[in-house]
Chains A and B, each alone.
Chain A
Amino acid sequence: DQQVKQNSPSLSVQEGRISILNCDYTNSMFDYFLWYKKYPAEGPTFLISISSIKDKNEDGRFTVFLNKSAKHLSLHIVPSQPGDSAVYFCAASGGEGLTFGTGTRLQVTL
């Protein structure tokens, strides 16, 4: 049972434009959500998080939006830069281990 889903395996965006990565979840017990960025042969790098009591959190170029009624969250990157090219994972926490989606590969083109 895939409790966290990232339905877009890949996304290509031009440099300077907005990148929007989406994530859906099914377990209403999740109360904290995170986004990680991963390069090949490295561990995931924490980017930004949001508690279930909020609907938006911003950190520099990264903004995460949470829609609890739709069980949906998204990561906005503005403006996108070539160094943002990586695999992005959405993760959810019910208090213990994280449950991850399968990732979206973002390619930022010049």
Chain B
Amino acid sequence: DTGVSQDPRHKITKRGQNVTFRCDPISEHNRLYWYRQTLGQGPEFLTYFQNEAQLEKSRLLSDRFSAERPKGSFSTLEIQRTEQGDSAMYLCASGDYEQYFGPGTRLTVT
């Protein structure tokens, strides 16, 4: 078990571009979560999957955000038409009551 992995670790993009992040959860975990963390704040819940089904979306997840988990394994989070306010650390976690986090993807929108 190698833990939760995320790719890329860092992404710099220009405003208006689309970006996609990948998360590979711990293999035996059915639930996968996405969070966003900005400076000085705790992680904020975005959405989660039970296997391939997306079961809840936070109101933080605007129409420009979409997440998928095909086949119930890895997940992707896409942000379309990025804005400077999207700059944050995007965290993925897997587990049930206890969630185990990946190292995060640091997004900088210039």
Contact = CB atoms under 8 A, between A and B. Distances in A.
Are A and B interaction partners?
A: yes
Nearest to A6: B42
A98 B98 CA distance: 10
Chain B: number of interface residues, binned into ranges: 20 to 34
Interface of B: 4, 6, 33, 35, 40-48, 55-56, 58, 91, 93, 97-104, 106
13 contacts: A32-B97, A41-B106, A43-B4, A43-B91, A43-B93, A46-B98, A97-B33, A97-B35, A97-B45, A98-B43, A99-B45, A100-B43, A102-B42
Contacts of B35: 97-98
Contacts, number: 60
Interface string A2-45: 00100000000000000000000000000010101000011111
A46 B97 CA distance: 11
